A and B are shown apart, each in its own frame.
Chain A
Amino acid sequence: MGEPLVNETGGRIIDAGTHLLDRQISDKDGELVGKVDDLELTFPEGGAPGASPPFVSAILAGPGALGPRLGGGVGRVVSGTHAILHPSTRPGPARIAFGVVTKVAANVELAVSRDELDVVRVENWVREHIISKIPGAQHAPQ
């Protein structure tokens, strides 16, 4: 396959859709966090197209990111379910700042624990407020 392509300053070159999107994310202990459903692109100092190019500032994960990406009826169902289940009145996608990413390879590795991330907070909220209230939910499997 040869060596990965780099630019003149030694910066590794990848294609975002092919090499980042839909990759699994793991936390500092190797626990699964979710997957890369979208990326947040930010213009440095509010730059405009053609001037300073945007950079990848965060990973967006969870149904709040996946719904708009899918679009159409399926996307609306995913986004709507996320809005209903999310504790916030105006829920956005779960955001993982790129500053806590340590490695982008076959999966994306983070330097933090999954419990510190928004994407898991929603999961925990649903478990505490909905799943735990279902009759029989408190009983561990025999």
Chain B
Amino acid sequence: MSLRNRLLALSLLTLLLPWSGWKLLQELERFLRETQETSLLATARTLASTLPFEQLSQLQYLPPNYLVLRALKRPPELDGYSDDWPQAEHGMEMLSNDQLMHLRLLAGTSGSSLYLLFDVRKPQNLNRPGDLSGHGIEILLRSPRGLQRFDVRPEAPGPLQLRGEIGQGQEVIRLEGQAEGFWLETAEGYRLELSFPGQARLADFQFKLQYVNDSGETAWLRSGSNSNRSAWIPLVPPWSAASASLASTTPSGSQAWLVDRQGWVLADSGKTPVEGSESTWLQRLPYRWVAGGRTVQRTQPEETPLRMLQDPVNSALLGDEATLWSQDPETAVLSNTVAVPVWSDSQADSRVLSRVLGTIVLQSSSDGLLLLTNRVLGRLLLTTLVISFGLAAGLWYFATRLSQRVRRLSAAVNVAMDKDSPDTQLPLTRDGDELGELARNNETLLHAVADYNQYLQTLAGKLSHELKTPLAITRSSLENLSSLPLDEDARRFLQRAQEGVERQTAIVRAMSEASRLEAAIDSADWETIDLNQWLHNCAEGYRSMHPQRRIETHLAGRAVSYSCAPELLAQALDKLVDNAISLSGADDVVSLALLPTGEHIELTVQNSGTRLPAELPGRLFNSLVSLRENRGSVPHLGLGLYIVRLVAQAHGGQASARNLPGTAGVEFTLKLPLKKL
């Protein structure tokens, strides 16, 4: 992993910024909610504890079974269908004693008429469509004019004209056209819809529902109780006074309800228009991220509810204050609903003695929180992302620059190492930072190395020069000695001494060869020759000198005209061929090749049988570097390849060595540019 990528990865840490912002936003949203909740609860508590006395007592003395009279906006059509009744699912539920018949009873007023809906469900085995015999309903109304009795006995499904009577005993007056209805057979049973014109202010009524039970006997489902007598069912209209007082005390933007023990809404402060507009799903999404876990998705009823049985009302009816956050999935409007129980004795210290009479439900609906959250989240995300990207870009730029500089320095050092020249200029040496210091140190080091190499290159020459004089002394002394009369032993020692001197002389001569070659390069004769012919001649020469060895040539196959110093080139080739011949066995092949490419001429000498030692391959062509493993009696100072390199450099080229693949041997290459530098 490069420096740059590492820093880039490091800059990913800045992504923690949006994450922590998101967490912060959640906290903020929670805090806002709590604030709103607290204030809403406080309002609800105030509303609950300041209920007027008469309402409290009304609540306290509500009968156990009563029917809420709903104000119908339009008179329902008498067709047996309940769909023109608002919230038809909320009604008075009753079961017959034998648990067979199920009745849901709805009551409503429109204008001056009273409407009743009996929704009866029978068990499957009793449901015989078309068979209405044995079924009927007897209804008693207590009107200011007296008891009115209606007996509904349909002969067939459809519209009904109800016959009624008023009075008791002898003074019974028949009533005609005082009520009408509609009997509809349904899949589960039947539905009876009745209208009583002019009875809108009726206080209570009772009924008796006749049916045939599963043993074929006639049975009765009576209103109010399970006894054999029907009980009066009070009809309770909405508490308009209470609604008005609720409306006046409810803070704007929220709606309050007074709910009784059974969940029936008795008073309603009225609907307040919800602020805000419809939001798109894209706007809702962020809020769901932030607060989705704490929000119930619940469709807000369009109309004022008649009965509340869901959270938080049911908790409040059990005596606990409760709150709920809900969001309408359609409109995304956020609602906070709180429910506070209404106690029979609000002053009582102990709730044990007090009874829950109902609850005050307060709901505040707004999309303000949503919009606020969205806005904050949007800004937060934008800010942190911009910061993150900015930071990442900055770090990346910095890292790129840094790695560029490091790479430039390292490339320059590499080039300088290869070039091996003492006056190398490294980049970055003027920079003031650590890299600049590194570059300066590198430059110093390179200069030291170059000086050292220079010293090594001249060392041999200097040393040989200095050694020559003492060697001449020894040699001439020994030669003089040899011309004196000596005994056998002395001769033997003398001979050994002379052999030693010979060897030293050879060493000294080899040492001075390179330095003399350097001088020779300056005075070399440059001429343009045909390298192909030249190599052919050279190879012939080597063959005649080493007739027992196999020397192959791979010539270019055409004349290769090249401007060079043929003497020097031949000398370099001599060294390479000497090397190849002396390092390989008698059976190994030495092959010479000339390969002119577009811009270069490659002169290679290959030999099988040996390998380059693994160590110091780059220094092979340096002065005084010998990698020969077995040092024989012939002195080897490692100057031969240095001479090759000098010749190559004099031609503006390079010398290189490599192992051939497998055990094919070694290849030395002189790469000479066609164009002079």
Partners in one complex: no
Q: Which residues from chain B sit less than 8 Å from chain A, CB to CB?
A: none
Q: Which residues from chain A sit less than 8 Å from chain B, CB to CB?
A: none
